[in-house]
Amino acid sequence: MAVSLSSVDIVGAGPAGLYTAILLRRFFPRLRVRVTEQNPEGATFGFGVVFSDRALDFMEHDDPEVHSLILPEMESWRNLTLNLPKERIVLDGVGFTAIGRLRLLEILSARAIALGAEIRYDRAVTSLNELDGDLIIGADGLNSVVRQADNEIYQSEIKFANNYFAWFGTEVRFETLTQTFIESEHGPLNAHHYRYENSMSTFIVECGPRTFESFGFNKIGETTSAQICSELFAHVLGGGSLVTNNSVWRRFPKLWCERWHSNNRVLVGDAAHTAHFSIGSGTRLAMEDAIALVRMLDSNETVENALMAYDANRRAIVRKIVTAAEASANWYDQFSEKMAQSPKNFALDYLMRSGRMSKERLRSITPEFMKQFESK
């Protein structure tokens, strides 16, 4: 038997909040679902959202309609490319997919509205007393108002990765997700770049603290940063330039909460946990949180039992993925030292960075690269 609810307030209209609204309206068609978002409609930061290969398979089973709306909009590729100072290496079979963040939000918001959810944009929630839902869902990201209202109960902890990064875009089309590692006069840098629509790509530039300070990235604006990085990576941009959208330099925040619910309040997505962008799982985890939460609301008689079950079951699953993401983030924090390896050793080290890969598994996933590596 499902819980008895008359209204739900969701704070945050990112992928986590919008997808939760969609599922709630599907499972509870009489339920009033209201989403409140502090930013104006159509405003979003960043460029593309990347998923590991076939990462949306879960949605094909649980929500074929939304899956059918998103899938045609996605760019996909089967290989990954490493551009190293001495060699270019193709990692066969390491596929990814991507979609523009704004386009993803447009699809999800249209579907939520079509199902009867209300979305209020350009309205910041400053106190949870402003909300009157039987259930309040915090899908409001790293600086979650819902989490901060009960921070001691959620037992949140935030640590920061060592490296600095800035999120740019470019009109250059890249055929695969590519990692470009370079040496410069001020130290090593890395760029993560991939297309998310036919003629637009994400371009994330990353470097260690010493390189960051030597370039003076902390003292210059977005436009100048973009110009400098365009010149540094001119060989992969082919004369193209980088564009900005809140492209400020920052360190990645590693947030984890030991508890995800408090009374009638519950957290999903980045409000409860973050996963480093290098494993392409943040948005997927947020949407899977939504599925797990709504399933528990549909299969428990009380809100309390549903939230307890969601908290215990889902948190244990996400912890494993976040642990892998932290290992990947730590690898990137040390990439400058790792560049001293031979290109093929560097590539193998890269593939095994999360601690979840073995050589045996890689022989199945990326057979051509492993054949080259083991025959060197």
Tell me the pTM.
0.95
**With left for phi above 0 and alpha for psi between -120 and 50, is residue 215 left, alpha or beta?**
alpha
Mean pLDDT computed over every residue of the chain: 95
Dihedral angle of Cα 93, 83, 275, 373, to the nearest 10 degrees: 50
pLDDT in tens, 302-350: 999 999 999 999 999 999 999 999 999 999 999 999 999 999 999 999 9
Intervals of CATH 3.30.9.20 along the chain: 164-243
Band (105; pLDDT cuts 50, 70, 90): very high
pLDDT in tens, 13-29: 999 999 999 999 999 99
User: Is beta strand 32-36 parallel, antiparallel or unpaired with respect to 7-11?
Assistant: parallel
**Radius of gyration of the CA atoms of the chain, in A:** 21
pLDDT in tens, 240-298: 999 999 999 999 999 999 999 999 999 999 999 999 999 878 999 999 999 999 999 99
Among the residues of 134-257, which ranges form H helices?
145-149, 151-154, 209-215, 222-232, 234-237
User: Is beta strand 156-160 parallel, antiparallel or unpaired with respect to 96-100?
Assistant: unpaired
CATH of 164-243 among 3.40.1260.10, 3.30.9.20, 3.90.1170.50, 3.40.50.300: 3.30.9.20
Among the residues of the chain, which ranges form H helices?
15-27, 57-62, 64-70, 101-114, 145-149, 151-154, 209-215, 222-232, 234-237, 282-299, 303-333, 335-338, 343-351, 359-365, 367-374
pLDDT in tens, 200-239: 999 999 999 999 999 999 999 999 999 999 999 999 999 8
- Does position 52 have pLDDT exceeding 90, yes or no? no
pLDDT in tens, 134-152: 999 999 999 999 999 999 9
Among 168, 165, 50, 42, residue whose Cα is nearest residue 100: 50
> Above pLDDT 90, what percent of the chain?
89
Look at residue 376 in the predicted model and tell me its pLDDT: 61
Among 103, 131, 154, 173, residue whose Cα is nearest residue 35: 131
Report the distance separating Cα 163 and Cα 206, nearest Å. 7
Look at residue 45 in the predicted model and tell me its pLDDT: 81
- Does position 46 have pLDDT exceeding 90, yes or no? no
Distance of CA 153 to the CA centre of its chain: 25
Report the distance separating Cα 44 and Cα 109, nearest Å. 13
- Does position 61 have pLDDT exceeding 80, yes or no? no
Look at residue 284 in the predicted model and tell me its pLDDT: 92
| Partner residues linked to 189 by β-bridges | 182, 207
Angle at the Cα of 195 (from 193 to 198), degrees rounded to 5?
A: 160
DSSP letter (8 states) at residue 356: -
Q: Which residue has the higher pLDDT, 214 or 53?
A: 214
Q: Are 183 and 339 in contact (CB under 8 A)?
A: yes
Look at residue 51 in the predicted model and tell me its pLDDT: 86
Mean pLDDT of 150-165: 96
Intervals of CATH 3.50.50.60 along the chain: 7-72+101-158+253-329
Q: Are 276 and 326 in contact (CB under 8 A)?
A: yes
From residue 67, alpha-carbon distances to 108, 165, 228 in Å are: 10, 31, 39
**What is the architecture of the domain spanning 7-72+101-158+253-329?**
3-Layer(bba) Sandwich (3.50)
Mean pLDDT of 36-49: 90
